[in-house]
Amino acid sequence: MSLTRSDVAARVLADCVPEPVDAFEAFAPVNIALCKYWGKRNALLNLPVNDSLSVSLAKKGSTTKVCWLPEQAEDEVILNGDAVDRDSSFYKKVVAHADLFRSLVPGALRVETVNSVATGAGLASSASGFAALTRALAGVYGLPLNDEQLSILARMGSGSASRSVYEGFVRWHKGVRADGMDSLARPLSEIWPDLRVGVLTLTSEVKKTGSREGMQRTVDSAILYGAWPEQAERDIARIEHAIAVRDFTLLGATSEQNALAMHATMLASWPPLLYWQPESVAVLQKVWQLRADGLQVYATMDAGPNVKLLFEAGSEADVRLAFPDIDVVVPFG
């Protein structure tokens, strides 16, 4: 019999004695994967095929306040100041995540989230959103959960949320257990104060294929996907090494190649999956030209058309000159 999300939540929360409070607020940062998560070994529990490694974007993220309202009949969800429709998928996902905890403490909740990243900015606010929600739920129910337990619970909302529990560099260990109790993220101890992540918002159109569906299609139909776990394993080792010895060229080159390899598996799916727009290709070609001209700048892309650039503080002025609309983030600010 396969395990449900509630079964796993019950295992994480097994020894907890709740001490609910009226309200609790928590923040979690968005993260950009340098070695990507693409493909699940268990779609229900969001258990990945490969380890992934990300960098969190410091102050860019989600702030979520959860109020416990035992007298109230129904949950309320508020996003960036507006009440969310009860029929929307966003409302249902938030309520389903809260339900993971509700066997311990019944009662309605008000969940208010403010994202400091614009919707459609090419930064996955679902990762920061589910991480902040998980922290706020644990807080409002007074559950003494550690970051690894929070990471397991956040993962069940959105895979990449497992990494948004932490600041800085973070590795999500895929784990091998069927219940996913070993599929969780841990932070790396290294910091890189000169590292910069530049976000280029090329279009804010809502994408047609979400990452959940896109991953499944790739796993099911792309023969090329067979090579992905090996690529990810090689890349994550290189990236960890690059971080340890502060080798920016190795970090940038490996991250870019990893992203392009992930997109190659998508393109090899059927029906084909291509998140890129002509503007995305133009940015990639400009990045390659800048590198040919001697500027150390690299690109990475997720399940959308926007491009994120990786560079160091010393290159920032030149990168800004080439991309005047870039939003530059200092992950270790």
Contact residues for ligand PMV, defined by CB under 6 A: 33, 36-37, 52, 124, 126-127, 158-160, 211-212, 302-303
Q: How far is the CB of 33 from ligand PMV (least distance, A)?
A: 3
193, β-bridge pairs: none
- In the bound state with ligand PMV, the residue whose beta carbon lies nearer, of 143 and 299, is 299
Q: Is 140 or 154 the residue whose CB approaches ligand PMV more closely? A: 154
Instruction: Find the DSSP H helices in the chain.
Output: 5-12, 89-102, 125-140, 147-157, 211-221, 228-245, 248-267, 278-292, 316-322
Crossing angle (nearest 10°) for helices 248-267 and 228-245: 160
Of the CA atoms within 13 Å of residue 149, those in its CB half-sphere come to: 16
Q: Which is nearer to ligand PMV, 302 or 312 (CB)?
A: 302
Task: State how far the Cα of 261 lies from the Cα of 268, in Å rounded to an integer.
Answer: 11
Positive or negative torsion for Cα 35, 30, 196, 307: positive
| Least spacing, CB of residue 175 vs ligand PMV, in Å | 15
Minimum CB–partner distance for residue 287 and ligand PMV (Å): 19
Could you tell me which of 27, 58, 26, 30 has the C-alpha nearest to residue 128?
30
Closest listed residue to residue 136, CA positions, set 279, 302, 23, 15: 23
Task: Calculate the CA 318 to chain-centre distance.
Answer: 28
Amino acid letter at 244? A
Q: Backbone phi, then psi, for 16, in 5-degree steps?
A: -85, 135
Give 26 or 35: the residue with its C-beta nearer to ligand PMV.
35
Q: Within the chain, how many helices (H) and strands (E) appear?
A: 9, 13
Among residues 37 and 311, whose Cβ is nearest to ligand PMV? 37
Smallest distance from ligand PMV to CB 12, Å = 19
Q: Which is nearer to ligand PMV, 37 or 141 (CB)?
A: 37
- Residue (164 or 315) nearer to ligand PMV, CB: 164
What is the smallest separation between the CB atom of 6 and ligand PMV, expressed in angstroms?
20
Residue reference for tokens 């590795």: 171
Question: Which run of H or E residues covers position 41?
Answer: strand 40-42
Nearer to ligand PMV, 155 or 196 (CB): 155
Instruction: State the nearest-atom distance from the C-beta of 108 to ligand PMV, in Å.
Output: 27
Shortest reach from residue 160's CB to ligand PMV, in Å? 3
**Closest among 275, 270, 264 to 307, alpha carbons compared:** 275
**Ramachandran class of 285: left when φ > 0, alpha when ψ lies in -120 to 50, beta otherwise:** alpha
Shortest distance, CB of residue 302 to ligand PMV, whole angstroms? 4
